[in-house]
Chains A and B, each alone.
Chain A
């Protein structure tokens, strides 16, 4: 695909992610932070986010799998997930956190498990989308083009 086309796809894709609520303004902030001194900043941060989130989701799964669920611990994990998802702009993931915390407060394992399920889904979705986005970027760069900046 020629560069121009790639770039257009990229822009279009990016716009759709924002439109559909997968990403929010915070992601734009990250993009703005990226500069020549840190050309891969966004990719690095998002990778960190992936690692961290997967760890947290695992911890959550284990915590909710216990016979005696430690809801405080669960809540702490969710809180952390909320912090990191909001920092990268993964809006839908972040939005799952508030109801999840409510379930923790109610100490209801059942609803917590459902929240966990939902948050996992959202996470996988956004992970997928972002990976696609990054691939597009790479293709553009490989084709010799510049990554268009989305305002």
Chain B
């Protein structure tokens, strides 16, 4: 897909490349499709490799084979857009197939199919949780290979959807939305079709205001240079922390531009900045960030972080300096962003991460700061209370198990880190990966991730704490994202937060997640198997911003519908966190939160109405500055209009929300 906007900030994937065939970055696939599909096959068994190659060639695919995972990975890195899909064996001598899967997911965001002679359930499950889009049992038959193109399409579609989603959220479709998403993710072209149509339907039903979103494939706004410059100016004027889509939209004053457009662009921009700031920010920011905003949540977070930090330090993975930094960060405010970045950066540098070198040091402190924050978030998607964080980690570990040995957390962080760093640079990534590939869990990268994770936590805490600034939008957006990501993770650990503090953590967590998600969006790699989430995230931002429910969103009016839904989602998210699974729940469903966005903006709507209370609820926690401006603002708006507030999750009157597992 050619995302004008995307290309600006997406450095990770060749934006369009990932979804287009050789035809080059266009949404449509070549006429020959699926012929010409570029497949990379990795298997250490020469017999299988040869057979697969022949089979794939018989399917008219373009095949590249490799019997070494490392080699395959470097090929992928050198030529990011040179492949459409990767098929990899699970058991390989030089690198575990799941590890490769993670790398590919994080760095290149390509669909990966795992295969093995092992058909035991837990291995297959591992594949799923690591994000494999399919799992083939050997001996592989050619029939199975004939259909692998569906995974590429699906992924593309998801990406598209995310973007489109912003614009279309319809209330009605909520129910329908939920189902399809799951199906879609779980592979079946049939589902996709139905889903798409239902989605489309929703969009159509939806609101009027949307200028041009009547189908799932909304016309995309092309972010020309001037437009982007206007955008950047507006953002700078507002300050990256305060830059909410609505305000940006106002400042830009471009006719025809919707809040959603701005919201999604903003998200990408933030990701981009984050990447940039990876290196530069660290240096200056640290101190600022530690300005302390000690808040309740903070306290908990701090302690938690402290624990973690110490644990990390204990394991020797966290350099003392980082530890100190982290702790400081924990105590500090969101400004921490920079602070956090530092540890991250340092760490990175330790491990020869090159990319952190901000290539672009835009010199926008603010941006950097925010970026940093984001970075942190990526590392660890948990802003919840310490306990939750722990849980989150736990769950994330289980889900994202790099090599799970004891340092699952670290690994996860590592993965996250890698994810983050990846965004920054290829080379650094390579290094990181190489390092990690060495199979040492305790490698520095891990520690890096830890700090990052911790930092993110810290940062999150910050956010959570303060009074809500742009509360609504941020929270919601975060929620969405985070939920998506962590849904799995959190299912266990985050029971609906009933207390405000809980919420705030949730919020922060969400924010983190959002951040993470945003990153992931770019790279799509991160949450293994959480394709859904990714999408949600993407959608989320825009959605969040637009609570339609009737609140006045000002600029976001048009897009409102999605917005409204979003609001609920955030609420739902929180609640749904515990129950969220990858089901594309929309607001309506119990899980709802993040899922809503994913699958159907529409669902959100119904929920929205009721969710209003939620929104108010959100007010409680809005992390001050999260990137989810749009969400926040949207939420805020909603809240205003709604005027209700609920106690904790504010779902008080929401029947749909009731479903949310609390």
Query: Which A positions have Cβ atoms within 8 angstroms of B?
Result: 26, 29-30, 32-33, 35, 38, 41, 44-45, 48-49, 51-52, 76, 79-80, 82-84, 86-89
**B55 contacts partner chain A, Cβ-Cβ < 8 Å:** yes
B50 at the interface (CB under 8 A from A): yes
A51: B residues at CB distance < 8 A:
46
Determine whether the beta carbon of A87 is less than 8 Å from that of B54: no
> Known contacts A48-B50, A52-B47; is A33 also within 8 Å of B118 by CB?
no
Assembly CA distance A38 to B140 (angstroms):
19
Is B58 in contact with chain A by the CB < 8 A criterion? yes
* Interchain CB contact under 8 A, A80 and B45: yes
Write out the residue numbers on chain A whose beta carbons fall within 8 Å of the beta carbon of B50: 44-45, 48
Selected from A41, A52, A76, A84, the residue in CB contact (under 8 A) with B54 is A41
14 contacts between A and B (CB under 8 A): A26-B139, A29-B139, A32-B142, A33-B58, A41-B54, A52-B45, A76-B91, A83-B91, A83-B116, A83-B117, A83-B138, A84-B48, A88-B47, A89-B139
* Interface SS of A by simple majority: helix
Q: Render B32-46 as a binary contact track against A, CB cut-off 8 A, 1 for contact.
A: 000000000000111
Q: Once bound together, how far apart are the Cα atoms of A82 and B142, in whole Å?
A: 19
Q: B51 at interface (Cβ–Cβ under 8 A)?
A: yes
Chain A residues closer than 8 Å to B359, beta-carbon distance: none
Residue contact A86 to B54, C-beta cutoff 8 Å: no
- Report how far A38 CA is from B63 CA in the complex, Å: 15
Determine which of B54, B91, B117 lies in contact with A33 in the assembled complex, contact meaning CB atoms within 8 Å.
Answer: B54
Q: Are A48 and B139 in contact (CB under 8 A)?
A: no
Indicate if B28 sits at the interface (CB-CB under 8 A): no
> Contact between A87 and B45 (Cβ–Cβ < 8 Å)?
yes
B46 touches A29 (CB 8 A): no
- Tell me which residues across on chain B come within 8 A of A26, comparing CB atoms: 139, 141
Q: How far is the CB of B631 from chain A (nearest CB, A)?
A: 48
Cα–Cα distance between A48 and B50 once the two chains are bound (Å): 9
State the Cβ distance, B403 to closest chain A Cβ, in Å.
Answer: 15
Q: B48-107: which have CB < 8 Å to A?
A: 48, 50-51, 54-55, 58, 89, 91
Q: Are A48 and B46 in contact (CB under 8 A)?
A: yes
The reply to whether B138 and A86 contact each other, CB–CB distance below 8 Å, is yes
**CB of A119, distance to nearest CB on chain B (Å):** 14
Across the A-B interface, give the 4 residue pairs with the lowest CB-CB distance, nearest first: A83-B117, A84-B47, A86-B139, A26-B139
Q: Which residues of B contact A35 (CB under 8 A)?
A: 58
Using a CB–CB distance below 8 Å, which chain B residues touch chain A?
44-48, 50-51, 54-55, 58, 89, 91, 116-118, 138-142
User: How far is B51's CA from A103's CA once the two chains are assembled, in angstroms?
Assistant: 29
- In the complex, the answer to whether B46 meets A79 with C-beta atoms within 8 Å is no
Main secondary structure on B side of the interface with A:
mixed
Q: Is the CB of A87 within 8 A of B58?
A: no
Residues from chain A with a CB closer than 8 A to the CB of B118 are 79
Taking the closest CB of chain B, its distance from the CB of A122, in whole angstroms, is 16
In the complex, chain A residues whose CB is within 8 Å of the CB of B89? 83
Q: Smallest distance from the beta carbon of A67 to chain B beta carbons, Å? A: 23
Q: Give the CA-CA distance A29 to B45 in the complex, in Å.
A: 18
A21 to B51, CA, bound (A): 21
Whether A88 lies near B138 (C-beta < 8 A) is: no
Q: Assuming A45-B51, A84-B47, is B141 touching A79 (CB within 8 A)?
A: no
**A75 nearest CB neighbor, chain B only:** B91
Q: Is the CB of A48 within 8 A of B142?
A: no
Residue pair B142, A84 in contact (C-beta under 8 Å) = no
B350 shortest CB reach to chain A, Å: 32
Q: Chain B: which residue is nearest A53 at the CB level? A: B47
Q: Which chain B residues lie closer than 8 Å to A30 at the CB level?
A: 51
Query: In the complex, A83 Cα to B52 Cα: how many Å?
Result: 12
Contact of A88 among B51, B54, B116 (CB under 8 A): B51
Contact B91 A87 (CB under 8 A): no
Residues of A near B45 (CB, < 8 A) are 52, 80, 83-84, 87
Contact A87 B139 (CB under 8 A): yes
User: Which residues of chain B are within 8 angstroms of A84 by Cβ–Cβ distance?
Assistant: 45, 47-48
**CA A44 to CA B53, docked complex, whole Å:** 13
B444 to chain A, nearest CB (A): 27
Most chain B beta-carbon contacts within 10 A, residue among A38, A84, A86: A84
> Are A79 and B139 neighbours in the complex by a CB distance under 8 Å?
no
Given contacts A29-B139, A79-B91, 15 further A-B contacts (CB under 8 A): A26-B139, A30-B51, A38-B54, A48-B47, A48-B50, A52-B47, A82-B117, A83-B48, A83-B89, A83-B138, A84-B45, A86-B138, A87-B45, A87-B48, A87-B138
| Residue contact A52 to B142, C-beta cutoff 8 Å | no
B103 CB, min distance to chain A CBs, angstroms: 21
Please report the C-alpha to C-alpha distance between residue A83 and residue B91 in the assembled complex, in whole angstroms.
10
Q: Taking the nearest CB of chain B, how far is it from the CB of A72, in angstroms?
A: 11
Provide the bound-state CA to CA distance between A87 and B53, in Å: 12
Q: Which residues of B contact A89 (CB under 8 A)?
A: 139
Task: Establish whether residues B117 and A29, one from each chain, have CB atoms under 8 Å apart when the complex forms.
Answer: no
In the complex, what residues of B have CB within 8 A of residue A48's CB?
Answer: 46-47, 50
Which one of A33, A45, A79 lies within 8 Å of B142 (CB-CB)?
A33
Q: Are A29 and B91 in contact (CB under 8 A)?
A: no
User: Which B residues are CB-close (under 8 A) to A44?
Assistant: 50
B141 and A29 contacting across the interface, CB-CB below 8 Å:
yes
A139 to B141, CA, bound (A): 30
Distance in angstroms between the alpha carbons of A76 and B97 in the assembled complex? 14
In the complex the two chains form, what is the Cα distance from A49 to B51 in whole Å? 11
Task: Give the residue of A33, A79, A80, A82 whose beta carbon is less than 8 angstroms from that of B51.
Answer: A33
Cα-based distance from A38 to B57 in the complex (angstroms):
11
Whether A86 and B51, one on each chain, are in contact in the complex, defined by CB atoms closer than 8 angstroms, is: no
Collect the chain B residues with CB atoms within 8 Å of residue A38's CB. 54
Known: A26-B139, A38-B54. A49 touches B47 (CB 8 A): yes
Residue of A at shortest CB range from B115?
A: A83
Of residues B51, B55, B118, which shows the largest number of chain A Cβ atoms within 10 Å of its Cβ? Answer: B51
Provide the residues of chain A in CB contact with B58, threshold 8 Å: 33, 35
Bound-complex Cα distance A108 to B118 (A): 21
Q: Point out the residues of chain A lying under 8 angstroms from B48, CB to CB.
A: 83-84, 87
